[in-house]
Amino acid sequence: NGKDTAHRARSKAWSKLNKDWVNITTTLNTYKLTLDQYHSMQEAQNFQCYLCGVVEKLFVDHNHSTKKVRRLLCKHCNFGLGSFMENPDVLRRAAKYCEVYNVAV
């Protein structure tokens, strides 16, 4: 009905205007974190990616097997870990590869 359609339209508009809040709320709910816990994690890391130190939007990293929250990472580091299947042996080989071929930054 028209009332439901109007409500959905207002809800969608609010979500679009408050995208960052919606994203952080979804993240907190997903990982069962409070906003205070998330802010404490940010402060403990000086608002930087735990791995590379870049200051940008940080994502909650977690162990995909245990679901346990680890640290906050930038999108590149978070994606990188996932791309290497969180396998330390593969990550070590990748690091050695970069060292051998001098492509490390």
The mean pLDDT value of the chain amounts to: 86
pLDDT, mean of residues 41-60? 94
pLDDT at 24 over 80: no
Confidence at 18, pLDDT banded by 50, 70, 90: low
pLDDT the model gives residue 67: 86
Per-residue pLDDT tens digits for 62-100:
998 888 999 999 999 999 999 999 999 999 999 999 888
DSSP 5-68: HHHHHHHHHHHHHTHHHHHHHHHHHHHT--HHHHHHHHHHTTTS-TTT---S--EEEE-TTT--
In this structure, the dihedral spanned by the alpha carbons of residues 17, 20, 26 and 30, taken in order and rounded to 10 degrees, is: 170
